[in-house]
Structure 1
């Protein structure tokens, strides 16, 4: 199950595996956001307060991912149509989790619509083979690479007015 990808099976199948995949990515993002919050913003004191801040971010983010996945795949099974509206409904479900997290209906409604629209764009991109995030195919470089120029600006030979022997 660790090598399973979301689109390995058709929509509406293997919902548990798909929830695991989306929750895994949401958990990784949540760890990053929570770590940033703990180190740079909230500065909690003690283990309990630090764990609470991590749970404060991880729980809703994983919940949003699970709500999207379950809703979109269940809508596929109920409607028996594989279209953008399933992803819109999944985005709305994610937005409701976000609104509940923020305890605000005023926040929930626009987030529901925005995530629904993003879901529709993603589904259209999958169906029509759009590349939303291109893959970087350059040769791998490391910080120890002596063949890579890490300067921000290249040297211009015409601007060099000094020589090795001058003072």
Structure 2
């Protein structure tokens, strides 16, 4: 199961379609399951197991479809154009937006989403080319259990030495 450990940038652009699809779908499935959980618990509140599973499929499936559309469109665009640039990611974002529009049955929503996904994809590619992070890693800070006194003024009883 080493393919589950694959990252999107393990191989050059235009290569290893399956590995890249797995890499993007890991994130899409995580977001889809998280959103589906919120949907089931707070919004749609389906009654029973099958309607609940249906809501999970309704939300998670299209998100994975958008990730796959982005990956495949970027891969095909890279191979057809013979260039590895921001336009390929923009095309991938537009393809993901098309899946979104089909999911919502609204072509205007698909066009708008495709435009914004395309811009986000182009900015992501720019970040890789220029060496900065689109989503910087979260830095966890450990703390000690020492107690600090952050009061502005001490208690009057402590000033007099009592």
Superposition TM-score tier, normalisation by shorter sequence: 0.7 to 0.9
1:60 alignment partner in structure 2? 62
The answer for unaligned runs of 5 or more in structure 1 is none
Mapping for residues 87-98 of structure 1, pairs under 5 Å: 87-98=89-100
CA-based RMSD = 2.0
Label 1:161 to 1:65 Cα distance change in 2 as closer, same or farther (>3 A). farther
- Structure 2: gaps (5+ residues): none
Structure 1 counterpart of 2:74: 72
Measure the CA separation in 1 of the matches of 2:140 and 2:98: 40
Could you tell me how far apart the structure 2 residues matched to 1:148 and 1:14 are?
A: 53
Q: 1:86 aligns with which of 66, 88, 103?
A: 88
Q: 1:53-105, CA deviations, whole angstroms, 9 ceiling, x for partnerless residues?
A: 00010011000000000100111111111111110110000000000011001
Residue 150 of structure 2 corresponds to which residue in structure 1?
155
State TM-score, norm by structure 2.
0.88
Deviations 1:9-47 (A, max 9, x none): 100110111001101110001010000011111111000
Match of 1:49 in 2: 51
Correspondence list, 1:100-115, <5 A = 100-115=102-117
Give the corresponding residue for 1:136: 138
Higher helix share: 2
Structure 2 residue matching 1:57: 3-state secondary structure: helix
Distance 1:148 1:35 in 2: 38
1:63 and 1:156, CA in 2 relative to 1: closer, same or farther beyond 3 A? same
Report the 3-state secondary structure (helix = DSSP H, G, I; strand = E; otherwise coil) of the residue aligned with 1:2: helix
What is the CA-CA distance between 1:4 and the residue it aligns to?
A: 1.4
Specify which of 19, 22, 26 is matched with residue 20 of structure 1.
22
